[in-house]
Amino acid sequence: MAGRKVTVFALVKAKPGMEETAKQELLALVEPTRSEEGCINYDLHQSLDHVGIFRFYENWTSKELLDRHLQSAHVKQFIAKADQLLAEPPEITLWEMLP
């Protein structure tokens, strides 16, 4: 997978009562991430059916730069708060677009 573009789908579920706080914390990740090397897009979505369910759709120029993102200060700050905000660990899957 080295040197290939990678797509990320991340599913995030807020604890009941923490939906708005989780939303604000997730939104805080968007701007700094979009300025990172290798970030093609980093888009946060909120479910229309379930206010506490969020999904990131991300594209990166390489797995290596995605891994660097996961070690960034803003991601680490979010992870430190995740237990109080999230109902379960985020479900993160990596994908490759087919031609």
Amino acid at the residue 2 = A
Q: List, for residues 26-57, the tens digit of each pLDDT value.
A: 999 999 999 999 999 999 999 999 999 999 99
What distance in Å separates the CA atoms of residue 49 and residue 12, rounded to the nearest whole number? 14
- CATH code for position 91: 3.30.70.100
Q: How far apart are CA 15 and CA 18, in angstroms?
A: 5
**CA–CA dist 57, 44 (Å, integer):** 7
* Positions of E strands within 23-90: 39-46, 53-60
Quote the pTM value: 0.92
Residue 39 inside a domain? The answer is yes
Domain that holds residue 11: 6-95
Residue 1 inside a domain? The answer is no
Provide the number of structural domains found in the chain: 1
Q: Please determine, for residue 1, whether its predicted confidence score (pLDDT) is greater than 80.
A: no
Strand 39-46 to 53-60 pairing: antiparallel
Residue 14 lies in a domain: yes
pLDDT of residue 99: 84
